[in-house]
Structure 1
């Protein structure tokens, strides 16, 4: 029998269009391995909501492998050390893995290649994006920094590769390594169990991802206009399935490529944005931690660690108690479901960094912990875009007005769903209810005009400094 082939699973929890699994299954018996390596990512270890999704996704994929008379080996600890030891113990001919571009995973891939026995090789595949990050470059061969020319070049490069089918056969090794019990990893909260809203809102795993894509194929035509309306929520909700690799953008592209609607064209550009974010972190590995633009950040930001009032304002934002209904609806949706409507994500993020003048990194970390689709590249790029600090970003002086945004995009129904204190308030005033209609709902934490003037002055001071 051929030497066993280890498949190192990370954010590629699927059987179909899985290049690492596809190659391994053609070369010999397959040992799929997932290593929970929390220490390596530091402050970007899996957040609470991500751990909930990971548990259910691994459970679903384990059942899929079980249906093929295979299984996932679960281990906890240092990934390169564990994988190298398994390769040595079982005489693996190769470890197959899909490339990941987070800095800790790139370092782990380098460490693993150095740690393997001489007769075992690390084979890296491209499988999680439309195009391999770094492959779409300028005419001079340099990576793009700005999204618009990157997107134009990406569109010129399409279509992507063909999608791969599930392996016809997944051969098992003669003996299996020992495996942790998934439940013993305690990825799910228990005391208290705050994940009920996530479980009610989502279906997990590869089959659920494809069912969602089937539904979306009939709805994507309305995306161009409907994507900004949180009360209607004409969005795909594919983001966590894409993040965890339960489905690939290549599969999405081939499923929808014959659509002729403006909705599909807009949605395609947002898929391209995922590729763009990976290209950014390839160039700037600490992008989710360090501002790209040169401001005097001590002047620009109010630090929650320097005063209890600023800390209280951060907590009001986190809990959805700012007194701005659309902001609070978004933050409560995030806490309840592990997800937030994209238009509202921008409104909430802008409110934190410009109305409250709190450093974008506090928001990035909160989203990281609360989002089931928390992605190192996307999260960092989006926060630096809204805060005006990024390589390609909105100007800081463009300050979103949450009250007019709420009215413009008809968020009344969305507010009633997630801010029940305002359920009986009429459409004409629910976006900015007067004091006598607020009941137990809090007053505004700061007025919009006051916040805007303060933010612009702080921006001027940061540039002058």
Structure 2
């Protein structure tokens, strides 16, 4: 049988893998390949938390391949040279891959496809990560959607899930020299910063399937309400698995549809809508690739962002702001590589509104510390909160972190877990400890007596700056 390279990227699974399926169905012996070339991601090379996850996911993929008689072959970039070397070593006649949609990788992949086809090779790419290609949905005027609701309405009108596909239990062996080892890629943190991550996560395809099953059997019940409660297990926790392609979004959607009944139909629809936001994020990044670094709404290009003072940004990053719900979220992020979505909005609003720091400061920190760091979702989330992007929160929407904490962490349990200095306080005093100075001095002396910025003053300063930016 002729050999085909199957080039893995953020599609680290065997089931529901269109590139692998194409290679097999067209009669090729697949040579699974991963090429590490972070320098080709332009200014958004994967961060430390993503790399730590990727190390374990690649390891899991190789184990799955070896159980089927194959193996994952690792190389380092430049990608074009690595592919040429592998084509020669394996005497391969074809290359298959699943598409990526980042601004840096789309033109690179298009150039590679053209170059390889000119060499007489069979080269095919497929959609391995989205329910809709970013170019599949458009407004009645043929322009990209910039508002989620009509985008989602159009998506639901064209809702067609691909059929699930199970990889064969045996794959034909195809071996070449293996000069690159996983450890040599340098994906692991230089110090043991990530050790707390793996109590909560299981990277790899099996871990993704397990997370989906746990969600359907548990948190799906009450999802609409509980998804906003950081003190509860109310979300799917599928985001890193989806980001690394350890499970296909259509597999997730199909499982939810299969579980749908009269009692949970509204919960299922609410979760599918969240998958829709993921699709919308990639739709936007494809059509507006500059938004990873610049405002979508040019009105804010001259906005008077504050200059970070000495230690201000570091205090926010490490959860030392003196605002308990903000500090809890950022400490959860540092300890687990994850932050609850509701809290992400709160800490982002605090940074961009109360501190009035540019959203890129936050986006870069999330990019380096989140295990589910996804360029499209990260960009959409930060620009939404800052008010500079598509479907954005209006500039006058400033999350009050105390009100948010009282509403979504009503007993202060999330705060107590991640800000242990405040555990000794009564629950009612955990949300705004500066309102109970004597109590804090006695029971929580290690916590800041006041927030790094007065919340009312910070809000008014933000509103004034936004108003002055012009309509």
TM-score range, shorter chain: over 0.9
Partner of 1:307: none
Q: 1:455 to 1:105 in 2, by over 3 A?
A: same
CA contact (8 A) 1:83 1:112 kept: no
Q: 1:33 to 1:179 in 2, by over 3 A?
A: farther
* 1:379 matches 2:385: no
For 1:261-320, what per-residue CA distance to the aligned partner results, in whole angstroms no more than 9, with x for missing partners? Answer: 22211111000111111110110112111101123545420123xxxxx24111111010
Could you tell me which runs of 5 or more consecutive residues in structure 2 were left unpaired when the two chains were aligned: none
- Measure, in 2, the Cα distance between the counterparts of 1:134 and 1:168: 35
1:439 aligned residue (442, 445, 457): 445
Equivalences for residues 350-389 of structure 1 within 5 A: 350-389=349-388
Query: Post-superposition shift, 1:25?
Result: 2.1
CA contact (8 A) 1:347 1:400 kept: yes
Partner of 1:290: 294
CA contact (8 A) 1:325 1:415 kept: yes
For 1:425-464, what per-residue CA distance to the aligned partner results, in whole angstroms no more than 9, with x for missing partners? Answer: 1111111112231411112001111011100111122227
SS of 1:34's partner is: strand
SS of 1:391's partner is: coil
- Measure, in 2, the Cα distance between the counterparts of 1:163 and 1:104: 30
CA contact (8 A) 1:95 1:121 kept: yes
Partner of 2:251: 251
Query: Post-superposition shift, 1:141?
Result: 3.6
SS of 1:97's partner is: strand
- Measure, in 2, the Cα distance between the counterparts of 1:70 and 1:24: 14
CA contact (8 A) 1:350 1:400 kept: yes
Query: Would you say how many aligned residue pairs link Structure 1 and Structure 2?
Result: 456
CA contact (8 A) 2:222 2:234 kept: yes
CA contact (8 A) 1:242 1:248 kept: yes
For 1:305-353, what per-residue CA distance to the aligned partner results, in whole angstroms no more than 9, with x for missing partners? Answer: xxxxx24111111010011100000000001100000000000001000
SS of 1:286's partner is: helix
TM-score (norm 1): 0.95
CA contact (8 A) 1:28 1:171 kept: no
Equivalences for residues 37-436 of structure 1 within 5 A: 37-116=37-116, 118-173=119-174, 175-190=175-190, 192-219=191-218, 220-258=220-258, 259-260=260-261, 261=264, 262-295=266-299, 297-304=301-308, 310-410=309-409, 412-433=412-433, 434-436=436-438
CA contact (8 A) 2:32 2:73 kept: yes
Deviates more, 1:127-136 or 1:294-303: 294-303
CA contact (8 A) 1:112 1:122 kept: no
CA contact (8 A) 2:300 2:388 kept: no
SS of 1:336's partner is: helix
Could you tell me which runs of 5 or more consecutive residues in structure 1 were left unpaired when the two chains were aligned: 305-309
* 1:462 matches 2:431: no
CA contact (8 A) 1:205 1:246 kept: yes
TM-score (norm 2): 0.94
Q: 1:263 to 1:440 in 2, by over 3 A?
A: same
- Measure, in 1, the Cα distance between the counterparts of 2:179 and 2:329: 40
CA contact (8 A) 1:81 1:112 kept: no
Deviates more, 1:427-436 or 1:342-351: 427-436
- Measure, in 1, the Cα distance between the counterparts of 2:404 and 2:327: 13
SS of 1:395's partner is: coil
